[in-house]
Chain A
Amino acid sequence: MELQIWIWIAVGLSFSLYIGIAIWSRAASTKEFYVAGGGIHPIANGMATAADWMSAASFISMAGIISFSGYDGSVYLMGWTGGYVLLALLLAPYLRKFGKFTVPDFIGDRYYSNTARLVAIFCALIVSFTYIAGQMRGVGVVFSRYLEVDIVTGVLIGMGIVLFYAVLGGMKGITYTQVAQYCVLIFAFMVPAVFISFLITGNLIPQIGFGSSSTDGIFLLDKLDGLHKELGFHEYTTGTKSMLDVFCITMALMVGTAGLPHVIVRFFTVKKVSDARKSAGWALLFIAILYTTAPAIAVFSRTNLIETVSNQPYDQMPDWFNKWETTGLLEFNDKNKDGLIQYKADVSTNELEVDADIMVLANPEIAQLPNWVIALLAAGALAAALSTAAGLLLVISSAVSHDLLKKILVPNISERGELIAARLAATAAVFMAGYFGVNPPGFVAATVALAFGLAASSFFPAILLGIFSKRINKEGVICGMLVGILTMLFYMLKFKFGWFGGGSKEDWWFGVSPEGFGSIAMIFNFITTLVVTHFTPKPSQEIQKLVEKIREP
């Protein structure tokens, strides 16, 4: 069957599934809208968290980025999984015990202050908006590449779907669609990986194939290191970044994960404290399936690419090469006119430009897999982008309707009124996200990674200290969060976007890149909170009791 028809079938079927689930799981109360009624099974919540968490970036770009950066790519692998240990051990059980709807809820109540609540709302909105714009863009890109519609139409279709199930079903609808989306995306990711692993190493499990020898008897990683040396690239299995920077980036991503509001709220949806721990475990297990496969795919496709193209005649390239050339993701420029492809690290003699995204997207074609696998990949990429977008939408809408309206501006709003406000806020947020998806501000791609730094520098210290210390007071936390997020914003604007005089690599503070600076800003936050708390009065008896109550199972 024709590829286009397969893709329409796969995307059409998965979308009708999501819509069906949304109609079945409409939310009737604010509790259902914000936390799915609070009775989700831990395994289902684990799957939903995994889909919520793994965005278009994890699905499409990560394996490719690792493929081109080798050991340096480890920061994403460790950074985006290690945060779940922090969540399970330090945050999730206690926040579930606290038993409200949102992160600003916790900050506002624990620090007995609406100012603290406002600062938290501000941070939640900044983090979520930088993140969601990238997701809608991802939806548009996938549509345009696979279904040959233009990006605007793609974004509009994506907006329509998310709008439908997020606005109708709230957290309840989102949770069950995310469970379905996890199944779609993990299946779509694993099928080509297993095929390719078998093809190259004869081993069906990519995680093992990764460390095995290829058909010629040489270990795959040794072979790749050799190929890299030959072509002048840095050795694949060792790094080029400074150890301090690798350390800081990994830390910022881990702590940022634990501080992302759309991940934290997922733990409010389970029945009891022990279920919150369990779902963190299941979530990481489900995520680990993709995250341990990605570096294997990176090595397989890197080796495959080099062996297929390096020093080979251009006119004998396989079909996929020409096909991806037309999309602009592959570019060949025969500089020395010998008809052979020279793929080199040296820019002056290199003749081939390869976009990182191709490593996952072209995988099925490189391995000559049937058309339905390619269709599956398109549906999987859409599932990854839509599930994350929906989770973020909910954070934005609850920050407006619950935290801002109900808790600060109109405290006596009725249940019905709040629900209507939540739906209106979600609708408005979809349109804003769609707008950014169609007209991406130049900084979207750069800021998605930085959203983690923002979360790390604002929420993580505030929540952690709120649970593990009874002494920390509102003055400390308000100053801490502001110092943290503002330093991070300043650093990111200065070194990423050239504001405040800009600066280059040599000017980085302590030699830490903007991606890793979240760790430093977090330390500033901790220090400020502790120092200010030291000079201001203790929280009241009731607050200390509240903290004690949170610590009980």
Chain B
Amino acid sequence: MKPNNYWKTNIRYITILLSLWFLISFGCGILFVEQLNLVKIGGFKLGFWFAQQGSIFGFVIIIFIYIFLMNKLDQSRKK
């Protein structure tokens, strides 16, 4: 793969994953927290859950997805 493509693909991954990052924290935990709070799952109001639990789990998952994608990209670049 050309170096230019490598960088472009990387940027695409970063853009998508950072949008997710923004959505689960600033989106679900702050901007739309009131609307989401109307939904309840177990004892949690959903917005509150995102702000205090969900976003953190999400962050961990996002980083591991990026690790996975980039390792694959690094592999294909070597070929």
Contact = CB atoms under 8 A, between A and B. Distances in A.
Contacts of B41: 211
Contacts of A254: 25
Interface residues of B, number: 40
B44 A221 contact: yes
A74 B51 contact: yes
Q: Is the contact region of chain B dominated by helix, strand, or loop, or is it mixed?
A: helix
A222 interface: yes
B14 interface: yes
B20 to A, nearest CB: 9
A274 B7 CA distance: 15
B63 A247 contact: no
A131 interface: no
B31 A247 contact: yes
Interface in A123-138: none
B56 A285 contact: no
A291 B74 CA distance: 32
Q: Of residues B3, B52, B57, which shows the largest number of chain A Cβ atoms within 10 Å of its Cβ?
A: B52
A299 B62 CA distance: 27
B53 A89 contact: no
A520 interface: no
Interface string B37-77: 10001111100110111011101101110110011001001
Contacts of A472: none
B66 A295 contact: no
A212 B37 CA distance: 17
A78 B51 contact: yes
A84 B60 CA distance: 9
Contacts of A220: 43
A181 interface: no
A442 interface: no
Contacts of B67: 88, 274, 277-278, 281
Question: Which residue, B7, B44, B51, B59, has most C-beta atoms of chain A within 10 A?
Answer: B59
Contacts of B62: 85
Contacts of B43: 210-213, 219-222
Contact of B14 (A73, A74, A89): A89
A274 B74 contact: yes
Contacts of A93: 70
A82 B25 contact: yes
Instruction: From A66, A85, A548, name the one whose CB has the most chain B CB atoms within 10 angstroms.
Output: A85
Given A78-B51, A211-B44, A221-B44, A277 B66 contact: yes
A455 interface: no
A284 B63 contact: yes
Nearest to A244: B30
Contacts of B29: 74, 78, 250
A368 interface: no
B13 to A, nearest CB: 8
Contact of B57 (A88, A212, A288): A288
Contacts of B18: 85, 89
A243 B30 contact: yes
Interface string A53-83: 0000000000000100001011001100110
A247 B52 contact: no
Given A78-B25, A84-B63, A277-B70, A211 B42 contact: yes
Interface in A414-439: none
A469 interface: no
Contact of A281 (B33, B45, B56, B60): B60
A292 interface: yes
Given A78-B55, A82-B25, A274-B71, A553 B77 contact: yes
Given A85-B59, A247-B26, A284-B63, 13 more contacts: A78-B56, A81-B59, A82-B55, A84-B63, A85-B62, A89-B17, A93-B70, A211-B44, A250-B30, A281-B67, A284-B59, A288-B56, A292-B56
Q: Which 9 A-B pairs have the closest CB atoms?
A: A219-B43, A74-B51, A211-B43, A281-B63, A295-B52, A211-B42, A211-B44, A237-B48, A88-B63
